[in-house]
Structure 1
Amino acid sequence: MKESVDRNGARDWLEAELADTLDEDYELEISEPTLSLEIAKIYKKAHPAAIDRHLYFRELLRLQSELIRLQSWVAYTKSKVVVVFEGRDSAGKGGVIKRISQRLNPRICRVVALPAPTERERSQWYFQRYVPHLPAGGEIVLFDRSWYNRAGVERVMGFADDGQVEEFFRDVPDFERMLVRSGITLVKYWFSITDEEQQMRFLMRIHDPMKQWKLSPMDLESRVRWEQYTKAKEEMFARTNIPEAPWYIVEGNDKKRARLNCIDHLLQRVPYEDVPHEEITLPERVFNPEYERQVLPRELYVPEKY
């Protein structure tokens, strides 16, 4: 009888945990801004065939469980993985990075999003500021923008001159080949969206107080220089798409499909497999009959408003 009660209790607890998990995902997905009806109509017209919500969450959870298997393999084999995420502003890089790292151990999988270089960093070898963030054995590093800033924003916005850009294009293939020779698995993604989709997402951010922080003056200027970014991207692909570290383009107009497609593709790029696991057992709690828990002052507690 007791065993049956324990099983039922465990099942109830597991269902509650799954419900909490879905709640967390729903919180991440609450991204509909307070839009005017007109903008909302335009957005719906541009996205007529959205993926079924339940299918999306089911596939996301399945892929995230595979990412946990990948994480275990990386830690066990002391492998090193670098994933580079590039693309236009608002293309969805941050969304997929969040879903990849959401359930992983931050000591194994970390996100690197470097700010603008300091005066000292600008005087260094260009790749120097990125090297300290490369993984040691048993680590995964996700670069939310990377050394390819020089081929994109720095070039288009005039922060790097023609000579610096040309030097970058000469150096980056050798730099990435060195990474691969050192044992790093290097995967590079470019998130692609249309001109119209970026305009829509920028408008949504402008009208959403919770997302306005995502819009920088540089982002707004990128709208003006759309064609310059396109030309820079095309040359970047032509000169840095090497066999050792090819580019992979993620169609990003549909955010949810882009996330699923990218994670699924990433899992196929790394030859992970199941690794040995020690069986985990919960030890018995040690009770000391002479121990008496102290009563702490009420002012130490966070007020229970909810």
Structure 2
Amino acid sequence: MAASSSTDFNGDTGRVVVVTGAGKGLGAAFARGWAARGARVVVNNRHHGNGASSAETLATALRADGGDAVADLHAVDAPGAAVVIVAAALAAFGRIDALILNAGITGPAAKIPALPADALAEVMAINFFANTALIDAALPHIAASPSGRILFVSSTGGLYGVRGRSAYAASKGAITAYALSLAHEQRRAGIGVNVLCPYAATAMTAAPGVTVDPRLAPDKAAAAAVWLTSSACTATGEIWVTGGNLVRRALAIEGAMADAATPEALAAAPPPPPAPGFDGGEAAFTDFYSHLTKEA
């Protein structure tokens, strides 16, 4: 599959899209974006039982606006949750056309080796293993769709690392590699599998005393998610970075071949050809944000 120039979403009215972690923030923006295009949306978000469910609140709002949506309140990492979430989508709408795997946590801020092993395990359970379980449960149904699409919501932290957030970066790096592997495996089947690394101001990224830039609103990252899971998009196996209604592709590159017979030869190996690259996730965001401010 190659990148498509088509922007026709007319064939996606009635499309069934499951969005995890969709009670608020980016997931809610993705759900709203698809509902606005006539899709039937499964809004998944865990509910702790205190007060109104954010997933139910959003699903109700989408229906009030003329959309078709149901809420699912399962935590993605709960035992058996993947099968139950898929079953809920099938019970409500009879099929699944697209899956947006957005649920995730940042985990604790701790530098290596101060990161507790159980904290790393928790982040991996939610950010990685819960997603692989959902793929296992949903893939046969997505394969039955005439235009099955899967989108993994990752992070540039998984590409470049993040100081003090090694657990988060590791989980996102793992899910990116998993997604690209899945894309290779499903290419002949026609299932589009891509990775989205969004920049957005959400509760997950909030910091005390920091003013939120409205240009980084979650809704301004939704267009890319909607397009990448649409029938119009034939891109697969790609990494996309988005935010503020801007987007760019990310790609791993390798340098020229060199002799590795001696330490001296290894030290002289040429670097990859000139291309945008970043020393950590913070530098990647700073560069992306500089382009956003230029658009103002």
TM-score scaled to structure 1, two decimals?
Answer: 0.37
TM-score scaled to structure 2, two decimals?
Answer: 0.38
Q: Tell me: higher relative CO, structure 1 or 2? Use CA pairs within 8 A at least 6 residues apart.
A: 1
Q: Name the larger-Rg structure.
A: 1
Higher helix content, 1 or 2: 1
